[in-house]
Structures are given as C-alpha cells and as structure tokens.
A and B are shown apart, each in its own frame.
Chain A
C-alpha cells in the first residue's frame, strides 16, 4: 500500500482513537476492560502516530480534504514538517501517558471510566486535528473540541466544588482565547471570505493589520499556553485534573498553543516585524520569571508543577520571540538556532513534565496526599517512582546531561551569538536577557530540589506514608518510556536536531542540520572553537571518575559501612516534624522576591497557647486584573438589570419606544 500518504495513516490513527473512545461508552462502568484493554490500545495507537510522524518529518507537505462539517465547508488538512514535529510530540507523550493511565484510573472517581476513555481519546484526536487543520474552520472546530474534552477531563471528579470551579475558570479563559484566535483568522483572511490557510499565506497585510493579527494570536494562544496575565487557570486546573490528564494538558495541550503561535507568526503572516519578537521575548521572560518564582513557594505538588509549566512555556515563547527578531532582520541562521532551541524545549518539556505529573500521580495514589507538608521519605517505600522522578527532576532543573539542559544551552547560545543586530537597543538588551534566562534556570533548580527533596527524601512526615506502595507494572511501563525519551533527548542532541532541521527550514528557511552534522558527536552549531557540548563524553567523564574513585577507594582502603542512628550533631530528640517544610524551603524566595507576592501571614506571639504559623500566597494578578474586571462586568450587568423591571407594562413601553424611534429613523 505504497500510495498511502503519511497523512492517511495519521487519519487512521485518529479514527481508531475515536473508535476506542466509542467502545468505552459501551463499557461505561467496566473498569477492567477499559483500563487494561482500551487505554493500552490507545497507547499503541499513539506509538504508531509517533512512528508515522517520524517518517513524515522530512517529506513535503501532504494535503487532504475531508468532506465533513457543513456542505460547502469541508475540512482542509495539511501535514508538513511543523505539524509532523508536533504530532511526534503528541504521539511520544501520549504513548507513555496512556500506558500509565491503564494502571491509574480507579473505581469511584466521579466520571465513569468508559466516559473518561471517550473524553481522553477525543482529546487526543482533537489535538492531532489542531495541528493538521489547514483552514480556520477546521482549526476552530478542533480547538473547541480540544477545550471541551479537556474541560470534561479536568472535572472528572465533579462532585468536589473546587474542581468544578477550576474547570469553569479553565473553560472561561479557553473561550476568551478562542474568540481572539477567531478574530485573528478574521484579520488574516483580509476580506476575501476564504478562510483556508493557503489563502491567508497568499495575502500580504499592511503592517498595521499584520500587527493586529499577531497581537490577537498572542492573546488567543497565550490564553491556552498560560502566558502572563492569562495564566491563572493553569495552577487551578492542573491540580484538579487526574494526573494522566494533567500530564497531557501540561505536556501536550500547552504545546498546541505554541504550534498555533508558530503557524501564525512564521507561516501565515508573510513577514515578521522586529518589535513583535521583542514584545514576545519580554512577555515570555516575564512569564518564565513569574512562573518559577511562584513555583518555588508552592506547597501543593501539582500546583508547583503547574507553575513550573508556566515557566517553561515562558522560556519557549522567549525563544520564539528571539527567533522572530532574527527572522525580521533576515538573520536566518540565528533564527534557526533560536527556533531549534524553542522546539527542543517543546519536546523535552513534553517528556519531563508528563513524567513528573505521572510521578505525582503515583504518589497521590500511594498516599492520598498532594500537600508537600504531609509527604516525605517516600524514596524508601517507593524507590522505583523516586528514581524515575529524579530523572525528570534533573531534566526539569536544566542539568546536564539531560534534555532540558540542551534546550537551555541552545537558547543561551542564540543569545550570545548576536554578532550585531542592526538595532543598538536590542543589542544592549539581549545579553541582559540571557542573564535573566540563567536566573530562571537556576531558580528552576531550586524549585526542583524542593520538589524532590520534600516528597521523596528525609523522614516521612506522616505515619501512614510508611505503608505507601510503589507503582504498578502499567505505571512503570508508561514512565519508563518517558524516562527513555528524556535520556535520548539529553544524550543525542545531534540526531534530534538533524531530525527537526526540516521544521526550521520550513519556517525560517535555514537549519542547523548541516552545521551540527559537521562536528560529529559534538553539538557545535557554530563550529567547535566557538561553542560545543558533548553530552555523551560529559556523562562518560563523570561516570568514569565516579567508577574510578569507587574502585580505587575499595582497592586502596576498604568498603566498610556501619549503620547507626542519624547523628544530627548529637541532638537525639529530632523528629520528622523538625525537617524543613515546603513553606520553609520557600522562605528565602518569599523574602527576596517579596514584591511579587501578595502574602497574608499569621505569626504566633510568644504568649500563644497553641502557636500557629500560617502564610497564604495569592496570585497578585487576581487582584490587579481579574477582580477589577469581574467587578466592572458585575457593575455593567447591574446597569443592564435596571431595564429588567419584571412588569409587563414596562416591557410594553420599551417596545413602544423602540417602535417610535425606528419609525422616526425610517421616516427621515
């Protein structure tokens, strides 16, 4: 069947996912059937999608027209390298998450498992649809399906009021964003009435209208991605959703927004303006810094990860902004470098963040706790989850030799190799921006040490933690796949950059593929004497000195070990409660970045019978932006409400006045 295009195979996977979802509906409450059969089937399909996307990476664009939807409005689909890259990310992540989900869902979690299965696979299929869509109509339909299916997944535990509230907030922000995207497409089609992307590519808008379209795209996709100030739904929705769903939303759904941003700004708009990039860069950095500072002070493990996702999205968007700046000045090689950094971060964040969310899922199942203050010491009863999570933590902290570091390295390189933009202000600012990136990365390390240390290390802060059980075989399979992905991305940057070379060629007509191929095993985008990084040698170097030290110490001295109670400076009354808490670990950050936060503190006085310390940290954007807007809306609604008197005579009078006014207008 050689004449089958890659696109057709992708559609087969989508159809099969929908089928799996539908089968789930007919087995609404048969948990075993749904979990052990349907979710693994979905995972296998995701793996197939990954394979097809991998194969489609280098090949030219493929198009198809599906006669669904309205009679005169078929779905236009197109698979090019950019779509293929995002399909790859979706496939790889979903394969791991589905396998994990097979062992995750339990009885009595609100929505029956069969329905969850439908929503889950619909969610996956709609994400594939979003990256395949080639006209605004299909895109919006898929986009909305994605928002709605994920809304139902977030509110799987809908009996809890906070979860309903989080879901509502998510739905609200998603729709405000969707309106902006719709308007963006409206501007892009330039009054031709043809909403296909091909037509939008052909239009060349005036700088004013192009800027409007870009601003609308940033607003619309930013709402989905969690850019400042539209990030508020993320820390609410992610903890509310079941862990596999949070993993998918954070790892993949946020990336569809990045896809949209890339599609609009590099593909549909005919040329970028430099200040778009500068604005995006500033917005991305502000988001990244805000996200990581808030992540560092969280006490709920999933909220912490949600804020960390905001940070990562900020970094990705900053890299996209930098690429736009370079593209606007026709510095294609540098644009390709920055864009490669962004794409690398997209892929590695998808893998490590889903891994971390799945890790929290296992912890949640084993202990029933999300609060960091009630966890601790889990490395001893859940060693498997702990080690796997450690890989995700190191990747997330941007440490070599894992994938997060490669992305950061590329990003910093693209900041450094600015041999002279023709804009002196940007030239001065860009190295300072690099310093902010370094600060964000270092703070991410702080946050991740807190995350891992408080959950898995130390002594259990509650008695029940000693009975926690390790993850089951399905959960292990899913997480192992993601760990393997993190390690591959970390150790093999050169093949991966060669793989995504067509994407940057498509968007900025330059790629790093040849440059990195020249230096062989080293990652050296601009020649070995300018900068290079060899993760394999790096790992081997550390491992070799580790092994040598170990062997020599045993050989020359001895390997004797005695186990004894912890020394703790001879203080024998220490207990688990005396360890540093999550609040304590966040205290330096609270002190240094105090202006960022809105804090309410309750400090004990020396005379308290039962001293109590409490600190609440709120998102200042609620108070600066959301509550005033909400109050404004309420006030307007009250004014409109004055019209509603509830007496028929008044309504009749309204109709009468309207009639007279219209008659006056018509009569003139």
Chain B
C-alpha cells in the first residue's frame, strides 16, 4: 500500500462525496432547461442537504432502531461503492475488497435495508414502495451482472480495476459485445437510480412513486443522508459506466500527474453524461409499473446478446 495509493483512494472518496450532489444538481438543471422551465441553481442539492441536516428529525412513534440505522447503512454502502469504482485512479487499496460481483451485492445490501426501513413504519405507501423497489431490484440485478460479465470476459477478470486497466490499454478495436452491454447498462442505470422511464425523481403523486415512497417517513438528517446516498448512487453508476465504456483518462498506478489530470477529465465526462441523462429523461415518458419488467427484460437480453456476441466472435 503506497502513499500514492492511499492518497488516490482518499481523493476519490472525497471527490465522490463532494461531486455527487453537484451531478444531481447538474442533471436537474439540464432537465429544467430542456423542459423550458427556469432551472434551480447548480448548488441547490447542497442547500437542501444543509437545510435538512439543520432540521430536527421527526420519527414515527413506533419506529424501530432499524429505521434509524438504515440511512447510515445506505450512506455507508454507497460511500464504499464510490471508493471501489475506479473513478480517478486504478491504484485503489480498497478495491480488492470487492470486485464487480461484490459491488452488485453492496448495492443490493443498501436496497434491502432501505426497503426494510420503509416497511418498518407500516404505512401503505411505505410497504408499496418497498415491494416495487425490490421488484425493480431483482429485475435489474441480473441484467447488471450480465453487463459486468460481458466486460469481464474481455479482461478475464471481475476486478473492476483490472477491467478498467485492460479496457483503457487496448487498441481502439471495436467490441460489438460492448455496444450491447452499453445499451443494457444505460437501461439498468435508469431503473436503479429511479430515473424517468421507470420512476420520476420529481414526482408528487404518491401512487406512482417508487424511490420517493420508500423515504416518505424520513425527515431531517436521516432524509439528508438518504438524499446524499441517492446522489452517491447516481454518481457511482455514472462512474461505472464511464469506467467501462469510456475508460480513458483514469490514472494508472504511480502516476501523480495523471491523477491530477484525472479530476478535470472526470468532471468533463460526468458533465457530458449528465446532459445525456437529462436528454434521455426528457425524451421518454414514465411507464406503468408493469411495463418495467419488459423494459428490464430487454436490458437483460441485450446484455446476454452482448455476451454471446463476444463469445461467438471470440473477442
């Protein structure tokens, strides 16, 4: 464990924690612009977090410790996820603790705890949200794993850092399998991050909520942590996508200069990705909950096709 490794790891965590709300704000801003609305400030998510942390937390009378602990667990899981995904550097001392499969497990852990917490109060909306969240989870998880598998076949490794190293050092060959995987990954990320065709982060209708329904009973600091965790999740997914499909600019081991350069590159890539996300969200309409299985099954099939194409062509 070198000094470089430790510092790149720390830099990555701090960058993730600080940039994640910014990314959410950026996407929100672009969404508003594209829909001809006047946009909130880029710093709005930070103001929201600040405000929520200041407020006292109102808990339901019979809320159990699970309800109070879940936001911290979700936040912890997402922080660890951001620490593992190579966003700035591939020399990460924490990365060996979890490969791509364990990363999927990490997201699942957070999801299970948030869903359980939503069921804890025993309101109709909470349990409904938990059911829907788990529904989307079990549909999206295999598709996500398939995407990661098809990229891991190229590098013969499920370790994210090795995957990124292999993918960034290859010649500019075209992997047709990777294109399918990219489409599938986009669809899965939309579903997992409660984005428009599946869920609407700006909805006010309780009956159509998924993610928002889960956190209806939260307030104050707990809500702030959950909001932060949600933007960290979006950040982590964006970074996984960027690392797998646009891996250039991520610093390798022992390259301090590249590490310094990696941050602006990441910000640029994220900015472009955020605009693309806002465009996708603007151009699509939210679908009924029972269309979601079809949507995610399509993603799953795309990923499987990508995998088979890769095996057939002998990538």
Contact = CB atoms under 8 A, between A and B. Distances in A.
**A-B pairs with the 4 shortest C-beta distances?**
A458-B122, A580-B127, A537-B97, A459-B122
Contacts of A431: 146, 149-150, 153, 304, 307-308, 311
B58 interface: yes
Contact of A568 (B77, B124, B307): B124
B304 to A, nearest CB: 6
Nearest to B115: A449
B124 A578 contact: yes
A502 to B, nearest CB: 27
A531 B158 contact: yes
Interface string A512-543: 00000000001010001111111001100111
A347 to B, nearest CB: 19
B15 interface: no
A243 to B, nearest CB: 23
A623 B232 CA distance: 50
**A interface, size bucket:** 35 or more
B94 A537 contact: yes
Which of A550, A569, A576, A580: most chain B Cβ within 10 A?
A580
A348 to B, nearest CB: 14
Contact of A567 (B60, B62, B159): B60
B109 A400 contact: yes
A428 B308 contact: yes
Interface string B295-314: 00000100110011001100
A226 to B, nearest CB: 23
Given A563-B60, A588-B135, 20 more contacts: A380-B62, A398-B105, A399-B112, A408-B101, A427-B311, A431-B146, A432-B304, A442-B139, A449-B112, A522-B97, A530-B157, A531-B157, A532-B96, A532-B159, A538-B80, A553-B225, A563-B59, A566-B123, A578-B123, A580-B119
Interface stretch (B68-76, B239-247, B279-287): B68-76
19 contacts: A409-B105, A416-B158, A435-B142, A442-B108, A449-B119, A459-B62, A528-B159, A529-B162, A530-B159, A531-B101, A538-B97, A542-B109, A553-B221, A568-B124, A579-B119, A579-B122, A580-B119, A584-B131, A592-B293
B146 to A, nearest CB: 5
A71 B102 CA distance: 57
B217 interface: yes
A450 B131 CA distance: 8
Given A412-B101, A416-B158, A419-B156, A445 B112 contact: yes
Contacts of B159: 528-532
B98 A560 contact: no
Contact of B57 (A537, A549, A560, A579): A560
A438 B60 contact: no
B194 interface: no
Interface string A201-241: 00000000000000000000000000000000000000000
A419 to B, nearest CB: 7
A580 B97 contact: no
B131 A400 contact: no
A2 B290 CA distance: 68
Contacts of B33: none
Contacts of B60: 563-567
A515 to B, nearest CB: 15
Contacts of A568: 121, 123-125, 216-217
A538 B98 contact: yes
Interface residues on B, range: 35 or more
Interface in B88-147: 94, 96-99, 101-102, 104-106, 108-109, 111-112, 115-116, 119-125, 127-128, 130-132, 134-135, 137-139, 141-142, 145-146
A533 B123 CA distance: 38
B171 interface: no
B127 A453 contact: yes
A451 to B, nearest CB: 11
Nearest to B82: A545
B216 A534 contact: no
A549 B72 contact: yes
Contacts of A541: 76, 79-80, 83, 94, 97
B304 A553 contact: no
Nearest to A584: B131
B66 interface: yes
Interface in A537-563: 537-538, 541-546, 549-550, 553, 556-558, 560-563
A562 B57 contact: yes
Contacts of A434: 145, 149
Given A409-B102, A530-B156, A379 B135 contact: no
A546 B97 contact: no
A546 to B, nearest CB: 4
A532 B132 CA distance: 32
B130 A533 contact: no
Contacts of B138: 439, 442-443, 445-446
Contacts of A580: 119, 124, 127-128, 130-131
Contact of B99 (A453, A532, A564): A532
A439 B112 CA distance: 16
A267 to B, nearest CB: 31
Interface string A450-465: 1011100111000000
B180 to A, nearest CB: 13
Contact of A380 (B53, B64, B206): B64
Interface string A414-439: 00100100000001100110111011
Interface in A369-384: 376-377, 379-380, 383
Contacts of B303: 435
Contacts of B137: 442, 445-446
A116 B108 CA distance: 42
B47 interface: no
Nearest to A409: B101
Contacts of B106: 400, 538, 542
B172 to A, nearest CB: 23
A365 to B, nearest CB: 21
